[in-house]
Amino acid sequence: MKKLTLLFLVLFNYSFSQFSMCEGSKGDPIFLEDFGSGTTYGPQLPAGITNYSYVPGRPSDGSYTIYHQNEWYGWHNNEDHTPNDTNGKHLIVNASHTAGEFYKRTVAGLCENTTYEFSAWLINLLPSNTGCANGGIPINIKFQILNAIDNSVIVSADTGELRGTNSPEWLRRSLTFTTPPGQTNVILQMINNGAGGCGNDLGIDDIMFRSCGDLTRIASNLNQEESIALCEIDGPATMTLTAAPDFSVYNTHAFQWQESTDNSNWQNIVGETSDTYTATNITATTYFRTKIAEDNVNLQNPLCYTVSNVYTVIIEPTPNAPSSSGNVDLCSNEPLQPLSVSVLPLQTVDWYTTATGGTAIQENNPIFLATTPGTYYAEAKTIAAGCTSLTRTAVTLTITPVPVIGDETHLFCNDTPYLLSAGVENMQYLWSTGETTENIYIENDGDYAVTITTPEGCSVTKNFNTTAYPKPVITKIISKNNNVIISLEELEGFEFSLDGITYQSDNVFTFIQGGSYTVYVRHIEGCFPITQEFIHLEIPLFFTPNGDGINDYLVFNGIEAYTYSTISVYNRFGKLIATDNGNNFSWDGRFNGQPLPSSDYWYTISIPNKSPIIGHFTLKR
């Protein structure tokens, strides 16, 4: 088990000024206690570390355990503090009812007149919304560092009352002190100032003890940052590193430069003990730092020196050219698709229009959305140093044009096949009807479409909305005197004819002699007409039997079209005056050889299978 030594973490209170953090450079940890990891309890602390009792479960007042999480009702269900560990453990303490010491440890082998820092992380396990009175008993701990010779207090700090929080909250507290002359051993002591009971429960983790010295930064003659990235292709690197302590702790300085290939295992650089060091022939990523102490003797004791910040020299190899995701072939009616390549992590891509040289058209992106067809070139580049690949990867964008077409609307006569045309020659065609020719004929209106495909495989669809002109519907044909009237369901948009040659927009034909006719009605756009045969009876309104040879006889023209018919004439008193077969009927206005007076007379026309036609006319003398 790692050495456990120190526990003086505290929250804000009246004695907070007694706690201090090393603001300068720190040495490598003299010890670090993170209590290990695993899913079992323990192990318990070595004898002499604590007067509390170890339990392999939830501790009661005056006991402790070591476990990877708090899973007990009433406490925060928190994990340990150590970053990036799995099932990491921490010390879980339930303070005793009686105030007194519960942790004590001796740290030996220190350097006299040397500044050190103790730090640790603390958590109050009792949530602020606990059922305990007044939110529970707060944590209240005194941390002391004692002279190991006479137990005199070197430094001391009280946390004051540390109350619970809504959610788990780890707090780091640290304490710095300087060992007196001749003093190389110290005692860490933690004392419970609070009472036990409902509260005063805490967790502790990541206790660290290390030397504290000047804040020392390293810079090079190439830059003032903490790192520099260079390209391997430029050859071995050379630079002068300078360590600059801030004199916050040390009055004098001794140096020992170190280097590492992994920033973990460090090797002294023989003979490099000044505040500057010229590093040469750097061909791979290397880390540099310097150990610092007030005298050379302390540089030999890891408990007595600190280390500077790390200066990193990153040597990046020349990247390979990017890997292409493939050329992009598009049709002009498709959305643009980006060109893309892939590179290794910590690399990016610049895009060019030339295979070599030129100015980048886009930087730091492996994806490039080109709007113009052509070949583009991707160059890999490291992010840190900007090292570029020796060659560029060509990626081509091809955009194949598709025919420029527009949808169409058609009105047509559906009595004859109607032609629809794709309007583009020498392509592949697929109509919504299944036909594959450039043109098709339709007989019914509706929506049609044709997909036109170029030899390169690009397709575009043309839509047709077609509507057939309405057909006329004859509802009635009326003979009125010498007029013929054609009635339709809808008169608008049609024209009429009685001979199929000459058409008129008026549905009334005047001065038409009685007889058999064929009525023609068609749409004004010239669609094929509908026809209906019709017998026009020309029934006169009057006749004048005065012997002048004009209109001397009552004649019903058109009646001859009926094979069988009878016409009868009556006076206004209903007396039959004349009757005969329709084909032979002609009346001269006489009855029994005597001229009848001017008056209105009535007629009845009887035709088989038709309703009688009744009307009147005037005889004028």
pLDDT in tens, 536-549: 999 889 999 998 98
Domain CATH code at residue 495: 2.60.40
Residue 8 lies inside a defined structural domain of this protein: no
Quick one: 459 and 483 in the same domain? Answer: no
Domain CATH code at residue 304: 2.60.40.10
Q: What percent of the chain has pLDDT over 70?
A: 97
The confidence score (pLDDT) of residue 18 equals 62
CA distance 447 to 467: 9
Quick one: 66 and 157 in the same domain? Answer: yes
Q: Which helix (H) or strand (E) is 585 found in, with range?
A: none
Spell out the long-range contacts of 355-362 with Cβ–Cβ below 8 A and sequence spacing 24 or more: 355/392, 355/394, 356/392
Domain final residue, candidates 370, 400, 430: 400
* Interacting residues of 266 by C-beta distance below 8 A, sequence separation 6+: 258, 259, 260, 289
Residue 586 lies inside a defined structural domain of this protein: yes
Asked whether residue 417 carries a pLDDT value surpassing 50, the answer given is yes
Quick one: 39 and 185 in the same domain? Answer: yes
pLDDT in tens, 284-300: 999 999 999 988 888 98
pLDDT in tens, 504-543: 999 999 999 999 999 999 999 999 999 999 999 998 899 9
Mean pLDDT of 563-584: 94
Q: By residue range, what is the domain housing residue 43?
A: 16-211
Residue 11 lies inside a defined structural domain of this protein: no
Quick one: 236 and 337 in the same domain? Answer: no
Q: Is the dihedral of CA 218, 221, 226, 230 positive or negative?
A: negative
Asked whether residue 3 carries a pLDDT value surpassing 80, the answer given is no
Residue 2 lies inside a defined structural domain of this protein: no
Mean pLDDT of 197-212: 86
Q: What helix, strand, coil percent values describe the chain, rounded to 5?
A: 5, 45, 55
pLDDT in tens, 390-399: 999 999 999 9
Quick one: 204 and 76 in the same domain? Answer: yes
Domain final residue, candidates 515, 536, 557: 536
Domain final residue, candidates 400, 418, 448: 400
Q: Count how many domains the chain has.
A: 6
Residue 4 lies inside a defined structural domain of this protein: no
Asked whether residue 195 carries a pLDDT value surpassing 90, the answer given is no
Residue 5 lies inside a defined structural domain of this protein: no
pLDDT in tens, 131-175: 788 888 888 888 888 888 888 888 888 887 888 888 999 988 888
Q: Which residue has the higher pLDDT, 199 or 586?
A: 586
Quick one: 395 and 425 in the same domain? Answer: no
Quick one: 394 and 417 in the same domain? Answer: no
Residue 117 lies inside a defined structural domain of this protein: yes
Quick one: 297 and 361 in the same domain? Answer: no
Q: In terms of pTM, does the model score above 0.75?
A: no
The confidence score (pLDDT) of residue 11 equals 28
Residue type, 218: I
Quick one: 232 and 303 in the same domain? Answer: yes
Residue 199 lies inside a defined structural domain of this protein: yes
CA distance 53 to 64: 6
Quick one: 233 and 303 in the same domain? Answer: yes
Asked whether residue 367 carries a pLDDT value surpassing 80, the answer given is yes
pLDDT in tens, 37-67: 999 999 999 988 888 899 999 998 888 999 9
* Interacting residues of 111 by C-beta distance below 8 A, sequence separation 6+: 179, 184, 211, 298, 301, 303, 304
Quick one: 310 and 341 in the same domain? Answer: no
* Interacting residues of 115 by C-beta distance below 8 A, sequence separation 6+: 22, 176, 177, 178, 211, 212, 213, 249
Quick one: 24 and 120 in the same domain? Answer: yes
Q: Omega of the bond prior to 59 within 30 degrees of 0, cis?
A: no
pLDDT in tens, 213-271: 889 999 999 998 999 999 999 999 999 999 999 988 888 999 999 999 999 999 999 99
